[in-house]
Amino acid sequence: MKNENPNMEVPTKEIIGELEYSLFRIGAFRAGIELHLWGKIASGEDTAAKIADQEGWDLAGARILLDAMCSLKLLSKEGDHYNLVPESAFYLVPGKPTYLGDLLLYEYHWDGNGRFSDIIRTGKRPMKDEATSPDLVPVWIADYSRRWTRPECYFEMEKSLWQSLDIQPRDGLRVLDIACGPAPHSMELARQHPGVRLTWVDWEEVLQTAVKVAGDLGIAGQISLLPGDLWSVDYGEELYEIAYLGDVSHFFGQDENTLLFHKVHTALVSGGVIVINSVARREIEEKVWDGLWLYVATASGGLYDFGEYKSMLESAGFTNVEDINKGPIRAEKT
């Protein structure tokens, strides 16, 4: 067989063994979510015996699962009693607005993962619902719920984003935020100056939830909505100084992005700026996993480098395309 040296030392099984263990860990974590384990502890069923007794579960099974969650650092143990830790109290207790269990159980993460080989063999994408389909609205809302409970935590980050782009909030600044989601980026600009006007594009239900947060922050009067599919919604002509596209361009193929950027170009005033910020451009170790996710979850999306974005933007009519510290990209309508 190629590359097989009969004198080589037998390699350890460490990497593969680690992966095998991850399968167990993930299986146990899934069981914990499905069984609402953290909710039971929050409601006082905090020993294996109490859970087995009140829920009718197998006692040995309840104990082994609780101990496994301690090993995952999602519970702690004192004697026979199990306690929530900050992460499980915040994210894993059903009924809380920050609960992520439904999102984690979303089938992409489970049955879908078992189908990677099919997709890779055939190239038939996406795996199930296209990541930009309205069917995913409940998934997006579940993902945003934690940001909406503590929006102020995100604003500090957003402030530095606008500073790095040299965009100052000012009277009359009109910002089009496309696929805005929880809209922390544009909301931060509006919070800084009462003269900033935002126009948000996203699915109706997503917008309504974001508007409620804007109301709590006292900036709802600065916001207009363009609900619906970002491809069919009319952005108008020469209406905005800034257009922001956060974490959405990686869902589309290069031709689609060029079309979208062209539509944005029409909507901007002369001298207007488009900002593209995509998780897939940030230098992070998980880049390869972002690539796999986009491959299975979209029909044509992917990770694009600065050169590819520059070419899409220039084809759409933009100039002065700039890479800001390998993060957001800024370009102008001149």
Ligand X SMILES: C[S@@+](CC[C@H](N)C(=O)[O-])C[C@H]1O[C@@H](n2cnc3c(N)ncnc32)[C@H](O)[C@@H]1O
Considering only the stretches 19-27, 119-127, 162-170, 228-236, report the one whose residues sit in contact with ligand X under the rule CB under 6 A.
Answer: 228-236
Considering only the stretches 4-12, 40-48, 89-97, 229-237, report the one whose residues sit in contact with ligand X under the rule CB under 6 A.
Answer: 229-237
Give the per-residue contact string, 123-162, with ligand X (x = CB under 6 A; - = no). Answer: ---------x-------x----------------------
Question: Which of residues 247, 256, 314, 322 is near ligand X by CB under 6 A?
Answer: 247
Residue with tokens 């037998």, as numbered in its chain:
10
User: Both tokens of residue 124?
Assistant: 């038939």
* Residue 180 binds ligand X, judged by CB under 6 A: yes
Helix (H, G, I), strand (E, B) or coil at 167: coil
* Residue 114 Cβ vs ligand X, minimum distance, rounded to whole Å: 24
* Residue 125 Cβ vs ligand X, minimum distance, rounded to whole Å: 16
Select from 182, 173, 174 the least CA-distant residue to 199: 174
* Residue 30 Cβ vs ligand X, minimum distance, rounded to whole Å: 24
* Residue 93 binds ligand X, judged by CB under 6 A: no
* Residue 279 Cβ vs ligand X, minimum distance, rounded to whole Å: 8
Q: Do 272 and 243 meet the contact criterion of CB atoms below 8 Å apart?
A: yes
Torsions phi, psi for 10 (to 5 deg)? -70, 120
Q: Which residues pair with 82 in a beta bridge?
A: 77
Q: What is the largest CA-CA distance in the chain?
A: 75
User: Both tokens of residue 138?
Assistant: 């409940």
Q: Spell out the residues 6+ positions from residue 54 whose beta carbon is closer than 8 angstroms to its own.
A: 40, 45
* Residue 200 binds ligand X, judged by CB under 6 A: no
Distance CA 167, CA 328 (A): 13
* Residue 230 binds ligand X, judged by CB under 6 A: yes
Q: How many helices (H) and strands (E) does the chain have?
A: 14, 9
Question: Which of residues 80, 229, 234, 308 is near ligand X by CB under 6 A?
Answer: 229
* Residue 248 binds ligand X, judged by CB under 6 A: yes
Site residues (vs ligand X, CB under 6 A): 132, 140, 179-182, 202-203, 206, 229-231, 246-248
